[in-house]
Structure 1
Amino acid sequence: MAFKQSPSPNFSKRTTKIDMVVIHNISLPPNEFGGRYIEDFFQNQLDPTAHPYFATIEHLKVSSHLLIKRNGAVVQFVQFADKAWHAGVSHYRGRDNCNDFSIGIELEGTDDIAYTEMQYQQLNKILADLCEQYPIKYLVGHNDIAPDRKTDPGRAFDWSKIDEHKSVSKKN
Structure 2
Amino acid sequence: MSITDGWLDLARKVPSPNHNERPADEVSLLVIHNISLPPCQFGGPYIEQLFTNCLDPDAHPFFAEIASLRVAAHLLIRRDGELAQFVSFDQRAWHAGVSSFAGREGCNDFSIGIEMEGSDFEPFTAVQYQQLAAVTEAIQRAYPQISAERITGHSDIAPGRKTDPGPYFDWEHYRALLPASAKS
Q: Percent identity?
A: 52
For 1:37 and 1:167, locate their aligned partners in 2 and report how far apart those are by CA, in whole Å. 32
Contiguous gaps of at least 5 residues in structure 2: 1-7
* Residue 85 (str. 1) matches residue 97 (str. 2): no
CA displacement at 1:79 relative to structure 2: 0.3
Q: Does 1:13 align with 2:32?
A: no
TM norm structure 1: 0.95
Corresponding residue SS for 1:23:
strand
In the alignment, structure 1 residue 71 sits paired with structure 2 residue 80: yes
In the alignment of these two chains, the number of paired residues is: 169
> What residue is the counterpart of 2:154 in the other structure?
142
Structure 1 segments of 4 or more deviating over 2 A? Answer: 163-169
Task: Report the Cα offset of residue 148 of structure 1.
Answer: 1.6
Aligned with residue 46 of structure 1, among 55, 77, 83: 55
Per the alignment, residue 166 of structure 2 pairs with 154
| Structure 1 residue runs without a partner (length 5+) | none
Q: TM-score, normalised by structure 2?
A: 0.89
| 1:15 Cα offset (Å) | 2.5
**Cα distance, 1:19–1:168 mapped onto 2, change above 3 Å:** farther
Question: Do 1:131 and 1:166's aligned partners in 2 also have CA atoms closer than 8 Å?
Answer: no
For 2:70, the equivalent position in structure 1 comes to: 61
Question: What letter corresponds to residue 4 of structure 1 in structure 2?
Answer: R
Provide the rounded CA distance (Å) in 2 between the counterparts of 1:167 and 1:54.
38
- Superposed CA RMSD: 1.3
Task: Specify the code of the residue in structure 2 equivalent to 1:113.
Answer: E
State the alpha-carbon separation in 2 of the partners of residues 127 and 160 from structure 1.
15
The residue aligned with 1:116 is 125
